Chain A
Amino acid sequence: MIKIKTFPDKCSGCHLCEMACSIHHFGVVNINRSAIKVKKEDLTNGACEPVLCRQCKKMICMESNDHDFSDYQNQFSWDKSFMDSCPFESIFLFKEELYHCDLCGGSPKCVEVCSTGAIELRIKE
């Protein structure tokens, strides 16, 4: 299985990961239409952090819903009813649509455009 690991200290806040995500899934550039979000303290200490689905083994997000997680694990658009279900706030609502990282089917586009190593692909047997 694969995972994307984040290293917030390395994030420079360039937003290229968000753009790559929206281009891959929608064919447009829109940093809000993305399953990865760069959180920035842009008026305090400048710190940045990429946030996205952690691919938890035990999907807490599924607990309050009567769903089979395997149906959702690889899906990008989730039902809005899951909105507050992630304890890490790593799924994102934009214009009534909820976005969850589907790892681009195994080849995450965000990782390809990260020049700092703030998001890295980890492959586990």
Chain B
Amino acid sequence: MYHSVLAKIDLTSGTTNLISLSEKILQQYMGGRGLNMRLLFPSLSRPGDPYAPDAPLVMSHGLMCGIPSLGSRMNISARSPETGYLGDANMGGELGAELRSSGIDSLYITGHSPEPVYIYINNGKVEIRDATQFWGKDTVQTQVKIRKELGDDQIKIGCIGGAGEKKVRFAGVRTGLKNMAGRTGMGAVMGAKRLKAIAVRGTNDISLFEPQEYMACYQKIFSRLLKGKWVQALGRMGTPLLMNNSNSLGFLSVKNNQSTTFGDQGKNLYAEKLEKHSAGMVSCVSCPAHCRHRFQIMDGPYAGTMGEGPDYASIGSMGSKIGNSNLESAIYASELCNRYGIDTISTGSYISWAMELFEKGIIDESVTKYPLRWGDQEAIIKLIHQISNRQEFGDILAEGTFAIDTLGPESDRFLLKIKNLPIEMTDERATKSFALGMATASRGACHMRSRPSLDVIGLPEELLRKVFNGDISSSYLDYKGKGRIVWWQERLNALCDSIGVCRFLSVFSSPNAPQAEQFSELMYLAFGKRFTEDELLDVGERVCTLERMIMIGNGLTKDDDTLPARYFDEPVKEGPSKGEVIDKTEFNNMLEEYYALHGWNNQGNPEPETLKKLGLSNLSTEEISFDKN
């Protein structure tokens, strides 16, 4: 489809090899998440140490990055220090597009550098450079200083802050002012490798198969997309628009999921309240929707705080999740996390866990040294500093799920987690499809692997049947057909993550949004290769099944496709979703429906014919080296 180049970089020896990826591997995995999983499969499909020198860290841009498209996203993947299992994080911004223009499409990084370094990619050349002078700098300072050193303000950078350097298990990789490969601790893997950043400059032409026709097709898709109410609202308010729905319907995590609505206090966190701090909206490369604010807080105790965002996940995690209804402090806390380079979602989750432990008396000031009360802005900010710098109680929380080893077995059940990744800013007891999606997500509790939002907008069953090709209840409280919805959405999202398309611009809240049919048209005109819709959805299925094989190789089973005990045992106590709880039998039925649609058996193991159909039969036994592909 195009000449795709992988740079294999060993930081221990400081050597680099450039390898051309085969047409076959591109057609099967496309790029981004899919390609990363294929490249990682040999090392990631058996247990291992995320910090071992030979543990690879992989970065690839999505196939459609760098050209007019629907976003421009890339993935960073490795064994997760936060979970011990599959680590993978997707991010927008400008880095993916710049990689595409640079002529280096994937990085496969192994080894530990003896000294801090960064990787500089300039139009096909790869250089490992000294980063001693940047070590200790935050994620914005690092980007500014690297540009200055290289004398080019157009360079795009993905970097870690102090938290990644100190191997905080949920440190991420940040680019620009907003975007972050946030979840599963990819920044800690960079820290272990003493890799401060990758800096990329690309000015190469990107050829299109039929350039003028491509633009005509793109504009047709783009115009239709922009007429949609969802994209219009997203462009005006950003993802914080979801806060209103979550709070008023009882989908929100409040005080570590002890409640699912923040009531009137939650209104302080609504998108409308963010608008007064906004100076305009910004986009990722190739995105016509522009879903994030550029903000500046002009007055009050947090005056001077500026940046891009924050998104719904960060407001929820630094807000309702930890009992904080002060929007400005949530923005400030989110920005602090960004500067240190820690995932706002996991950070909020671990803080909320600690606050509930404090509330229940399982830990006290002899451990924390200061009270940890819901919504205490000073304590929240202090704790973020301590986590990021691995100081005092923060050093314990910096271990994420592994902090249970220190805080004791009694603390375990209050950390709501799936496959060692904590539950996020939402609660899924009411929304049955969302609950299943969290339980099955390949990287642990994650709303981005599926989150089939069509389930919660009240579409008639007739339309649902047409979209999903099966019987689906139109009530989000109901279990019927929800295994199907999650399977359908997982497959599409895996495809989007592999071609670099933003899931908000595909089927998220509109059944008419661009999907395989439109991707197929665009890909033919861009690359000259015609994929049927089924072939594209098979790419998504291949990625999901490959990830399943990785999970199984690490000893995960059907028992791990589950939810925190609170979801099964504690009906929601109050608010609009009062009484909602997950029924174990119904959940299991949903799970087995989902397995069957993926072509996996009732224990979640892919059937031999599924592996054969997807071209995965030999991968399970063969020790495959990516450069032979």
Contacts and interface: CB of A to CB of B under 8 A. Distances in A.
Interface of A: 9-16, 19-20, 22-24, 26-33, 42-43, 45-48, 94-95, 109, 112-113, 115-116
Which one of A13, A31, A46, A109 has the greatest number of beta carbons of chain B within 10 Å?
A46
B208 A29 contact: yes
Given A46-B177, A46-B294, A12 B281 contact: yes
A45 B296 contact: yes
A91 B350 CA distance: 52
Contact of B284 (A14, A20, A45, A95): A14
7 closest Cβ pairs, A-B complex: A46-B294, A12-B290, A115-B288, A28-B205, A14-B283, A12-B283, A29-B206
23 contacts: A12-B282, A12-B287, A12-B290, A13-B282, A14-B284, A14-B290, A16-B286, A23-B68, A27-B207, A28-B205, A28-B208, A29-B67, A30-B206, A32-B203, A42-B177, A43-B140, A43-B143, A45-B306, A46-B280, A46-B308, A47-B294, A95-B203, A109-B215
Nearest to A23: B211
A38 B101 CA distance: 17
Contacts of B279: 45-47
A14 B177 contact: no
A115 B222 contact: yes
A43 B286 contact: no
B310 interface: no
B266 to A, nearest CB: 27
Interface in B250-302: 279-290, 294, 296
Interface in B60-97: 66-68, 94, 97
Interface residues of B, number: 44
Which one of A10, A29, A32 has the greatest number of beta carbons of chain B within 10 Å?
A29
A44 B208 CA distance: 34
Contacts of A16: 68, 286, 288
A28 B286 contact: no
Contacts of B212: 23-24, 27
Contacts of B207: 27-29
Given A9-B280, A115-B289, A45 B208 contact: no
A15 B284 CA distance: 9
A38 B259 CA distance: 45
Given A11-B280, A16-B68, A27-B212, 10 more contacts: A12-B281, A12-B290, A15-B97, A19-B68, A28-B205, A43-B143, A43-B176, A45-B306, A115-B288, A116-B290
Contacts of A109: 215
Contacts of A33: 205
Contacts of A112: 219
B154 to A, nearest CB: 8
A97 to B, nearest CB: 12
A7 to B, nearest CB: 10
A9 to B, nearest CB: 6
B144 interface: yes
Contacts of B68: 16, 19-20, 23, 29, 113
Nearest to B290: A12
B204 interface: yes
Contacts of A26: 205
Contacts of A9: 280
B448 interface: no
A94 B205 contact: no
Nearest to B147: A43
Nearest to B203: A32
A95 B123 CA distance: 13
B67 A46 contact: no
A28 B177 contact: no
A43 B208 contact: no
B226 interface: yes
B67 A19 contact: yes
Interface string B419-450: 00000000000000000000000000000000
